[in-house]
Amino acid sequence: MGAAVLITIGILFLLENYHLVYFHRSWPALLIVIGIFSFFCRTAPMEGHVQPFGLGSGALPPSQPTPSDPEVKS
């Protein structure tokens, strides 16, 4: 979402520099972009997504036993 907000701000300032649309009249477009991205982030399906490291439950997945472990039986 951060990238979309920065791009929107850049486009709004570019339009202001060309005197096409002034920022004090176009800032609601920024709120619309934030709202659209928030909506899509909350309604997107989560299946197939992998949680980035450090985010999530905080618990590490259980480690796989190695052949040198005494608990592993052949």
What are 10-65's pLDDT values in tens digits?
999 999 999 998 888 888 989 999 999 899 888 888 787 776 666 555 555 666 66
Query: Which amino acid is located at 52 in the chain?
Result: P
What pLDDT is stored for residue 11 in this prediction? Answer: 92
Residues 58, 71: Cα–Cα separation, whole Å:
27
What pLDDT is stored for residue 31 in this prediction? Answer: 92
**Do the Cβ atoms of 30 and 9 come closer than 8 Å?**
yes
